[in-house]
Structure 1
Amino acid sequence: MMTGNSSSTKLDNATLSMLQNVNSSSSSIVISVIYLLVTVINLVGNGLSMWLLLFRTSPKTPSIIFMINLTLTDMALGAALPFQITYQLQGYNWNLGPRMCSVLTLTFYTNMYCSVLTMMAISIDRYLGIVRPMLFRQTRESKFFAVFSCLLMWVLVLSVLYPLMTTDLTFHIPELGITTCFDVLKKDMLPSVSAWAAFLFSMVFVLFLFPFCVTTFCYINVIRKLSRDSKTVQKERAIRLASIVLLVFTLCFAPNNILLLAHSVLRLFYQKSLYMAYKLSLCFSCLNSCLDPFIYYFASKDFRQKLRAIMNLHSLSSADSMKMEQRESLYSTH
């Protein structure tokens, strides 16, 4: 995102030079390659995950419902990425109109923040199931509550991102003969600096930092509980799950949100830019859609067993398998 000059249709020389050279830069090439790889891995991995979660995993516990919600957002991103790749290969020239630009931008950010909130919901579910098993037990095990929570996530994310749905995010640059999509924004997209501050605060702090703190708290306490009470199998799996989730937050989500805030402040008040760094971080934020299936593997015993069956990884005898299931079920929230 580059914040243009108020309502002016002209850009400063630095911005023009940056956009003129961006398509031939090494960063732009790296971004396009990463998007292409993410698209393939996303659609294959999440397509398999969705099939397993919908048709091969039963019962549909709250954790499974949260995973279905997460997979849905990931697949939507996978379907949108080819449009982003085409846009970049055409020299950052968007020719599909303002509405499609808004859909693409909204897909990127709803994927990121719905993923953040869904991971938080999964961590809370595991925390309550392992650390506080009697707290809100009936509510936590309710499918209706899980579905309601997913709907609430979508409402919250779309409410915060509402300006992206109501604004023309395309910007025609006659000097370069191109029309950008969410790469140049006018300051008057929002009515005041305070409105910009509220928008950025909601994205960075409400949709990212707060869920990150809650998720970290939950997994730290889960690991502590399992370290005291469980055997090595449960403890190692919990540590792997926590490590993957925290990796997704720190690698995929944190750089993008930090750079979004820093870049916006620099453009609004100091006419400076972190444009390419932000674009690269947005690219890395999409990697979460490739890592999410690993979260399902360690978070759901049923998903894990079905995946093993499909990949013919059953090396245990039936008796050993039953023993393993009994050991896993002690602290599993399915």
Structure 2
Amino acid sequence: QNKTVSITLPVVYTVVALISIPGNLFSLWVLCWHIKPKTPSVIFMINLSITDLMLSSCFPFQISYHIQNNHWTFGKTLCSLVTVMFYSNMYSSILTMTCISIERYMGVVYPMKLIKWRRKRYALAACLVMWIFLLLAFYPLESTDLTYEVKELGIITCFDILKWDMLPNFGAWVAFLLTLFVVLFLIPFIVTVGCYIGIIRKLIQTSNRYGNRQKTRSIYLAIIVLLVFITCFAPNNFILLAHMIIRLFYGRSLYPAYKLTLCLSCFNNCLDPF
């Protein structure tokens, strides 16, 4: 138990929910009914809005949990459901933003050469593959009782204490954690950063050549999006990696720091609609 975590997370989740839910509902309404045609970028942004709303639906349970000093009162099934929804949607945000960065990179840097790949059906297929992969990656959480009774404290935790029998052996744990860090964060992170750097370079070159104010705005927007992506997702995932290494090999923990950096990831929900 950590008082800082128990106080900070409910406050942050409440603020994020109050901003994110109306913001993403409005964004979804505009994207679905007022923007035509449905380009790949629009498809990805619709997926991002739905993802953010699904993540926000987990906040009431998380708020209640932390207010009660990490005591889960909603049963085993809801614990697994909320946990899978929370983390799969968080990583879905990363993957969707990566898809958006790739689509924008193709549109800015290779507008004619790669036009055949910028089609609605490919965007829909990418979203479908993304969700199938996430559900497979989080299957261990879907098939395990994630609650744990701490008799000394008189509480039942939800996904705060992992059970080693969730996976068959040490190698399976390493594979699971590497999937979370490398496949669902590091590779998308590198691709997204690379795409936005390429976009910014291309816009700077054309802006200098033509002196276009609109392109100068686009440069600033690309820089802001890149900084938001790095700020929201990098700290949490790097601390998760450090926590798991320290936990597996040295028996110590960075778990409170990891939980606090989740706040940064959740703040992305507030920023996506804008």
TM-score w.r.t. structure 2 length? 0.94
Q: Which has the higher contact order (CA 8 A, sep 6+)?
A: 1
Deviations along 1:147-168, one digit per CA (max 9) or x if unpaired, are: 1111111112222222111111
CA distance, structure 1, for counterparts of residue 213 and residue 82 of structure 2: 42
2:246 is matched with which residue: 253, 262, 266?
Answer: 266
Separation in 1 of the partners of 2:129 and 2:43?
14
Query: How far is 1:250 from its partner?
Result: 2.1
SS in 2 for 1:167: coil
| CA displacement 1:102-161 (0-9 Å, x = unmatched) | 111112211221111111111111111111112331231x21111111111111222222
- For the 8 Å contact 2:203–2:216, the answer to whether it is kept is no
Aligned AA (2:245):
V
Note the alpha carbon deviations across 1:287-328, whole angstroms, 9 max, x for none: 11111122xxxxxxxxxxxxxxxxxxxxxxxxxxxxxxxxxx
Distance of 1:145 and 1:53 partners within structure 2: 18
Q: Which stretch of structure 1 is more off in the superposition, 221-230 or 268-277?
A: 221-230
Output the CA distance in 2 between the equivalents of 1:157 and 1:168. 19
Structure whose alpha-carbon radius of gyration is higher? 1
**Other structure's SS at 2:272 match:** helix
Q: Please state how far the C-alpha of 1:188 moved relative to its aligned partner.
A: 2.3
Residue 253 of structure 1 aligns with which residue?
233
Matched, 1:224 2:201: yes
Q: Does 1:146 align with 2:123?
A: yes
User: Does 1:43 pair with 2:21?
Assistant: yes
Kindly provide the amino acid, as one letter, of the partner of residue 123 in structure 2.
A
SS of the residue 1:286 aligns to: helix
Higher mean alpha-carbon deviation, 46-55 vs 232-241, is at: 232-241
How large is the RMSD of aligned CA atoms in angstroms? 1.4
Q: Does 2:147 align with 1:170?
A: yes
Match of 1:311 in 2: none
Whole-Å Cα distance in 1 between the matches of residues 115 and 84 of structure 2?
A: 35
Alignment-derived partner of residue 70 in structure 1: 48
Q: Residue 137 of structure 2: which of 160, 180, 183 is its match?
A: 160
**In the superposition, relative to structure 1, how do residues 112 and 171 fare at CA in structure 2: closer, same or farther (>3 Å)?**
same
Unaligned runs of 5+ in 1: 1-18, 295-334
Q: Distance in 1 between matches of 2:27 and 2:249?
A: 45
Dislocated runs of 4+, deviation >6 Å:
none
Which residue does the alignment assign to 2:222?
242
The CA distance in 1 between the partners of 2:159 and 2:228, in whole Å, is 24
Residue number in structure 1 paired with 2:101: 123
Counterpart amino acid of residue 115 in structure 2: R
**How far off is 1:234 after superposition?**
3.2
Greater shift after overlay, 37-46 or 25-34? 25-34
Helix, strand or coil at the partner of 2:127: helix
Residue identity in the other structure for 2:270 = C
Partner-residue secondary structure (3-state), 2:156: strand
Count of residues in correspondence between the two structures: 271
SS of residue paired to 1:51: helix
Alignment of 1:180-219 (within 5 A): 180-219=157-196
For the residue of structure 1 that corresponds to 2:57, the secondary structure is: helix
Tell me if structure 1 keeps the 8 A contact 2:232–2:266. Answer: yes
Tell me how far apart the structure 2 counterparts of residues 169 and 247 of structure 1 sit (CA, whole Å): 34
Retained in 1: the 8 A contact 2:108–2:199? yes
SS in 2 for 1:293: coil
Find out whether 1:277 has 2:246 as its counterpart: no
Q: Distance in 2 between matches of 1:122 and 1:37?
A: 26
Question: In the aligned structure 2, how far is the partner of 1:243 from the partner of 1:229?
Answer: 16
Q: Tell me the residue number matched to 2:83.
A: 105
Contact 2:200/2:223 (8 A) holds in 1? no
Residue segments in structure 2 that go unaligned for 5+ positions in a row: none
| Distance change (3 Å), C-alpha of 1:162 and 1:236 | farther
SS of match in other structure, 1:180: strand
Gap change, CA 1:152 and 1:128, over 3 Å in 2: same
- Judged with a 3 Å threshold, the aligned counterparts in structure 2 of structure 1 residues 218 and 103 are, in CA distance, closer, same or farther, namely same
